């Protein structure tokens, strides 16, 4: 053995022996040794001593740091003590491995340790008080006849621990040495000593005889030592086949409830105290005014009796009261107890003037408090909820709070549907349980399974004082994986399982679709340069359909337009936000899924994040999310093919994508299917109160998506069809592969070589402020985008995609840093773990457009530049490109007071201005007037100008006013109210009498009238005179009188005329008739 090896062995030996040397000579101390998992624990005593193991546990029940904190409630291997005793008890030394192979694994994925307490014992004198136990039981007397005692009341020493004992009762301290009858000594079969007592300080082996009817039917081995003034016996457990016990003493005790002058033994035994007729009963009552306990008992009601009632909490007396014999009910106010304890009462009595009292009779306990069950739950991040119930056995005038402790990262891992419960006078008791629902939070992190303790505690204003005994539920949350996929550049795809491929087809495609719920994402791809690019994305979850589309115009002249296409109220939890620069948009969905876009002049990059619900249930261009990249090219017919056939299979026929139509079942799918939370309001129930809101915890660095435009989208949807206009990429592509790169070679037409392109792409990645930080992450390839960047330059001979090398690297870096919780390196003021700051601080919007410095995730722009990403040159006005939806607008078919202007260099600020002028041709020449307008920043590429007064005058009386049927409106934009852009012209016209082409050239319609500037269609009437109408075949600039105006009178006038004529005729006939009658009467009188 080398000297080095010897030194090592000496050190190990000292480590084992030195803790022992300090113990036995200091009064037999308890030794405590610990060893972390996978180590070996060495125990030892001095020569002549033996190990006596008193405690052992393998698990994690304390603060010892063996790689992880103690789980809630700790964990224990149940057979730890038996295993260690089996290996070490009675030995001078032993070694025990702290390993799962020895003890089993009581808590997986938790750092465990072995802890052992032991003494080193030599040969001690049993006469010493500390070396024997005392037994004080008068019923062991040989003089006590146990006939008639119930079986459960008989003494039985089968569970007696082996050791030295001294009998100390008043019945006597020595075992009888002659046969004791059956049914003596408080048992059925008594044990007496067959042997003689040794002399002083001597120990003798003797026999214990068990009398089962034959005096010594079976035996046990005993030892007895004479300690001069008393004897001690080494006793062993008795056989378990029958009730049997050791005898001690020979005095006969008085029956229970009787006493005698000689200490309670025969003779002269008499009753000493009054007795109850049965145990007390305990009841509880509560109403609107008071809550209390009642202790009822039944005994003699004599006047010479005093009853003593004791109230107990968890078997500890808290209140004692005395009452005369005729009062046999006691009361305890609820305010005198502690919550979550067992309440009981016990009663004993004595005769007045006597101190001798009965052994108390005790009631059954009443648990007064909160009951929770079950106490263990398991929930999955991709699964449904679990429930536990809570009820209170007593009425409480306060709320009962549900509090869930924060998880491993200092943030909640579960959500509850309620954070407080009420158990008033009408809702307490076992028949009134209340259910609490628990959900696992989708945290979009790889953090393993977590353990969360949910406590149920009363509020501070409760009328019952808490005892400190709390009840709750230990919830295990099962971690489930999530993933993110990307389509960037021209475009390059990275699937959920990290497979990379290129696809240059044009049209609408299924980017992602869930086969388990109504969630899908469609992409729209157009031609850009000699390749293709994503120009739009459409998202559907449940009833919500949202599009982000910049495909509605010539390449390079469009802007991203965000539309809420579905007609229902958005689902709770669906939000659309944008970055302050207006370049990035994010659709956040109730399920936790996210769709993000990064827009450029040429198109957009797309990023889709899916929750764990979609694991194994995805299809589309982003592949099958199942951790198996080999099956990602699964076509729509479920076959596995090459990337070309696979991609074409997910092309959507023209007019059938989410861009152009709503799915048939969008109105009936129901919001409940969009989220596993079923629309419930869920909360993290913290000690500071409930925190209710988004049930998905998606980690983030600095939140650049801080402008919520959801409500704006709802309002715009209600403003008319101009805002819902849908566009379609023309369906001219065939199923043949798009002919990209057929003739692409190095060098490119402009002279860029492969070497030049590679250097430029690598330099683009290295110029990212996050390059150094991302290079520290083992799962991130900082040059992952270089190959795609080089290919883009080869195919397009254009450097527009150069910065995509850095953007893709930053995107993958951000994803890894947020998802991998082992990288989290700091905590906030609430002790919540935060993503790695060394990554987050280096990620700035758009890499500050290479016009500023990235400092703590914020762009510090170079002089003359501004915006959150330093993209706006304040020394130059915005550069306008086009008017959204064209340069003409018909007031009869659209909303023409809102003009969308597409351009570059827009700044989202309070100083953003629209400068609008109207140019109208009149008899006095072209009139020019400024129109008040409000500017709204829509994106980095668009400002929307709302004109605050009518551009045209199309309604009115031409006899009183002059209309304006067509106007040319010019629009300019400034970021500061002073430095204006060039102007764009929009022609606004009334199509009743004008027709205008796309260039804004208008001419009067030949089949309409324009009368004093107002337009009228054929046969259109004067607004106040129906006799005049528009007849362009006679006069296009003035009214024509209608022929046969009389016949054209309104029917009510004809009716009045006819009625008048009829009335006149009737009146004339009536007058004639009256005159004739009078004449006849006159002739008659004359005749008479």
374 upstream amide cis, omega within 30 of 0? yes
Q: What is the DSSP string of 941-972?
A: TEEEEEESS-SSB-SS-TTT---B-EEEEEEE
C-alpha angle with apex 1003: 999 to 1005, nearest 5 degrees? Answer: 130
Distance CA 453, CA 471 (A): 10
- Note whether 599 and 584 are within 8 A (CB): yes
Helix then strand then coil, in percent of the chain rounded to 5, is 15, 35, 50
Token pair recorded at residue 398: 């306060």
Distance CA 519, CA 591 (A): 9
Phi-psi region for residue 912, left (φ > 0), alpha (ψ -120 to 50) or beta?
Answer: beta
- What are the pLDDT digits (tens) for 34-50? 999 999 999 998 876 78
Residue 807's pLDDT is 87
- Distances 999 to 553, 886, 888 between C-alpha atoms, Å: 15, 9, 8
Distance CA 361, CA 276 (A): 8
**Which element (helix H / strand E) includes 1079?**
helix 1051-1087
Token pair recorded at residue 711: 């409500």
Residue 717's pLDDT is 83
Q: What is the dihedral angle through the alpha carbons of 88, 94, 99, 102, rounded to the nearest 10 degrees?
A: -40
- Phi and psi at residue 576, in whole multiples of 5°? -120, 125
- Phi and psi at residue 989, in whole multiples of 5°? -145, 165
Distance CA 502, CA 417 (A): 46
Output Rg (C-alpha) for the chain, integer angstroms.
48
- Is residue 34 classed as helix, strand or coil in its secondary structure? strand
Token pair recorded at residue 253: 């005790």
Token pair recorded at residue 969: 């409106």
What parts of the chain have a pLDDT lower than 70? 1-28, 48, 123, 257, 259, 261, 263, 270, 407-410, 665-680, 693-699, 701-704, 719-743, 829-831, 1044-1088
Residue 28's pLDDT is 54
- Neighbouring residues of 813: CB distance < 8 A, sequence distance ≥ 6: 770, 773, 774, 777, 780, 782, 839, 843
Architecture in CATH of 3-121: Sandwich (2.60)
Nearest to 889 by CA among 881, 899, 877: 899
Distance CA 821, CA 446 (A): 6
Residue 1072's pLDDT is 53
Residue 396's pLDDT is 94
Phi-psi region for residue 856, left (φ > 0), alpha (ψ -120 to 50) or beta?
Answer: left
Superfamily of domain 879-1029: Immunoglobulins (2.60.40.10)
Q: What is the DSSP string of 910-928?
A: TT-EEEEEEEEEETTEEEE
Residue 734's pLDDT is 32
Hey, do 3-121 and 273-367 end up sharing a CATH topology, with the first three levels equal?
no
Strand locations in 19-138 (E): 31-36, 40-44, 50-60, 75-76, 93-97, 113-121, 133-135
Distance CA 1010, CA 988 (A): 16
CATH topology for the 373-478 domain: Immunoglobulin-like (2.60.40)
Distance CA 50, CA 36 (A): 25
Residue 1088's pLDDT is 33
Domain boundaries, the chain: 3-121, 129-259, 273-367, 373-478, 483-676+709-740, 879-1029, 1051-1088
Q: What is the DSSP-derived secondary structure letter of residue 12?
A: H
- HEC string of 701-725? CCCCCCEECHHHHHHHHCCCHHHCC
- Note whether 558 and 600 are within 8 A (CB): no
The model's pTM: 0.66
User: How far does CA 551 lie from the centroid of its chain?
Assistant: 37
Nearest to 543 by CA among 521, 563, 520, 567: 567
Nearest to 968 by CA among 1013, 928, 995: 928
- Neighbouring residues of 1003: CB distance < 8 A, sequence distance ≥ 6: 994, 995, 996
- Neighbouring residues of 356: CB distance < 8 A, sequence distance ≥ 6: 259, 272, 273, 350
Distance CA 875, CA 975 (A): 10
Q: What is the DSSP-derived secondary structure letter of residue 976?
A: S
Token pair recorded at residue 1051: 């029917």
Residue 726's pLDDT is 37
Residue 1079's pLDDT is 44
Give the right CATH number for 273-367 from 2.60.120.560, 3.40.50.1820, 2.60.40.10, 2.30.31.70: 2.60.40.10
Distance CA 34, CA 671 (A): 55
């Amino acid at each position: 053995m080398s000297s080095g090896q010897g030194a090592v062995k000496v050190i190990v030996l000292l480590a084992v022996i030195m803790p022992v040397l300090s113990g036995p000579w200091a009064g037999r101390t308890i030794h405590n040794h610990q060893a972390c998992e996978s180590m070996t624990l060495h125990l030892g005593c001095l020569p002549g001593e033996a190990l006596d193991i008193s405690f052992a546990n393998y698990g994690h029940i304390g603060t010892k740091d063996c790689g992880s904190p103690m789980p809630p409630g700790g964990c224990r291997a149940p057979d730890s003590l038996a295993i260690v005793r089996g290996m070490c008890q009675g030995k001078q030394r032993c070694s025990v491995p702290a390993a799962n192979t020895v003890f089993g694994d009581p808590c997986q994925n938790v750092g465990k340790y072995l802890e052992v307490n032991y003494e080193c014992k030599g040969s001690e004198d049993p006469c010493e008080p500390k070396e024997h136990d005392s037994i004080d039981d008068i019923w062991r007397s040989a003089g006590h006849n146990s006939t008639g005692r119930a079986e459960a009341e008989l003494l039985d020493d089968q569970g007696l621990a082996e050791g030295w004992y001294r009998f100390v009762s008043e019945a006597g301290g020595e075992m009888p040495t002659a046969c004791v009858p059956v049914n003596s000594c408080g048992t059925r079969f008594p044990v007496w000593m067959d042997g003689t007592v040794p002399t002083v300080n001597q120990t003798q082996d003797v026999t214990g005889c068990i009398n089962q009817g034959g005096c010594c039917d079976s035996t046990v081995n005993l030892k007895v030592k004479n300690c001069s003034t008393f004897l001690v016996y080494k006793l062993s457990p008795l056989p378990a086949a029958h009730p049997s016990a050791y005898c001690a003493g020979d005095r006969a005790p008085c029956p229970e409830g009787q006493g005698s002058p000689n200490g309670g033994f025969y003779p002269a035994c008499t009753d000493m105290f009054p007795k109850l007729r049965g145990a007390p009963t305990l009841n509880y009552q509560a109403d609107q005014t008071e809550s209390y306990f009642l202790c009822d008992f039944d005994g003699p009601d004599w006047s010479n009796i005093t009853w003593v009632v004791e109230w107990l909490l968890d078997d500890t007396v808290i209140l004692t009261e005395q009452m005369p014999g005729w009062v046999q009910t006691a009361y305890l106010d609820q305010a005198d107890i502690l919550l979550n304890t067992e309440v009981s009462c016990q009663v004993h009595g004595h005769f007045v003037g006597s101190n001798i009292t009965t052994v108390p009779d005790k009631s059954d306990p009443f648990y007064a408090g909160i009951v929770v069950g079950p106490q263990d739950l398991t929930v999955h991040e991709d699964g449904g909820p679990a429930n536990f119930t809570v009820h209170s056995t007593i009425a409480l005038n306060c709320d009962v709070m549900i509090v869930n402790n924060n998880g491993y990262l200092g943030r909640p891992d579960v959500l509850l549907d309620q954070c407080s419960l009420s158990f008033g006078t009408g809702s307490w008791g076992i028949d009134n349980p209340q259910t609490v629902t628990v959900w696992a939070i989708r945290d979009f992190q790889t953090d393993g399974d977590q353990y969360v303790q949910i406590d149920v505690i009363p509020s501070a204003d409760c009328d019952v004082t808490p005892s400190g005994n709390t009840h709750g539920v230990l919830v295990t949350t099962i971690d489930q994986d999530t993933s993110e996929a990307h389509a960037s550049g021209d475009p390059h795809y990275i699937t959920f399982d990290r497979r990379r491929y290129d696809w240059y087809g044009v049209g609408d495609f299924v980017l992602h679709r869930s086969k388990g719920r109504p969630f899908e994402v469609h992409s729209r791809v157009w031609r850009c340069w000699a390749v293709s690019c994503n120009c739009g994305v459409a998202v559907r979850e449940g009833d919500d359909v949202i599009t982000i589309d910049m495909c509605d115009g010539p390449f390079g002249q469009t802007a991203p337009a965000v539309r809420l296409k579905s007609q229902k109220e958005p689902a709770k939890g669906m939000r659309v936000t944008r970055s302050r620069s207006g370049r990035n948009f994010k659709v956040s969905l109730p399920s936790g899924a996210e769709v993000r876009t990064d827009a450029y002049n040429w198109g957009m990059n797309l990023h889709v994040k899916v929750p764990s619900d979609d694991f194994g249930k995805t299809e589309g261009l982003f592949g099958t999310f199942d951790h198996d990249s080999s099956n990602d090219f699964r076509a729509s017919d479920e076959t596995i093919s090459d990337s070309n056939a696979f991609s074409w299979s997910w092309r959507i026929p023209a007019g059938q994508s989410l861009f152009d139509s709503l799915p048939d079942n969008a109105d009936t799918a129901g919001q409940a299917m969009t989220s596993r939370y079923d629309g419930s309001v869920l909360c993290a129930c913290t000690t500071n109160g409930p925190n209710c809101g988004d049930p998905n915890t998606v980690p983030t660095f600095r939140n650049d998506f801080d402008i919520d435009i959801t409500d704006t989208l709802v309002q715009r949807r209600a403003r008319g069809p101009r805002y819902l206009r849908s566009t379609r990429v023309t369906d001219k592509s065939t199923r043949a592969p798009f002919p990209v790169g057929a003739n692409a070679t190095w060098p490119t037409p402009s002279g860029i070589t492969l070497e030049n392109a590679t250097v430029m792409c690598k330099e683009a990645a290295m110029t990212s402020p996050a390059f150094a930080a991302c290079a520290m992450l083992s799962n991130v390839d900082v040059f992952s985008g270089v190959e795609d960047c080089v290919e883009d330059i080869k195919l397009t001979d254009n450097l527009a995609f150069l910065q995509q090398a850095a953007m893709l690297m930053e995107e993958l870096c951000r994803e890894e840093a947020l998802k991998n919780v082992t990288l989290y390196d700091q905590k906030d003021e609430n002790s919540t773990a935060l993503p790695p700051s060394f990554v987050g601080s280096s990620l700035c919007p758009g890499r500050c457009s290479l016009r500023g410095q990235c400092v703590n995730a914020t762009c510090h722009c170079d002089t003359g530049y501004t915006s959150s990403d330093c993209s706006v040159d304040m020394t130059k006005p915005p550069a306008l490109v086009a008017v959204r939806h064209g340069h003409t607008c018909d007031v009869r078919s659209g909303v023409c007071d809102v003009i969308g202007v597409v351009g570059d260099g827009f700044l989202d600020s309070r100083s953003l201005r629209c400068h609008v002028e109207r140019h109208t041709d009149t008899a006095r020449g072209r009139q020019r007037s400024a129109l008040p307008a409000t500017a709204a920043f829509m994106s980095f590429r668009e400002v929307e100008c709302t004109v605050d007064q009518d551009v045209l005058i199309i309604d009115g009386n031409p006899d009183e006013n002059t209309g304006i049927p067509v106007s040319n409106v010019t629009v300019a934009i400034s970021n500061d109210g002073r430095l204006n852009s060039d102007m764009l012209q929009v022609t606004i016209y009334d199509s009743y009498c004008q027709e205008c082409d796309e260039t804004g050239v208008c001419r009067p319609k030949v089949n309409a009238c324009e009368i004093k500037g107002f337009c009228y269609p054929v046969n259109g009437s004067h607004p106040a005179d129906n006799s005049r109408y528009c007849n362009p075949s006679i006069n296009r600039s003035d009214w024509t009188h209608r022929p046969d105006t009389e016949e054209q009178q309104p029917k009510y006038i004809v009716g009045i005329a006819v009625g008048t004529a009829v009335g006149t005729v009737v009146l004339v006939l009536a007058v004639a008739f009256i005159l004739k009658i009078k004449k006849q009467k006159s002739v008659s009188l004359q005749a008479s």
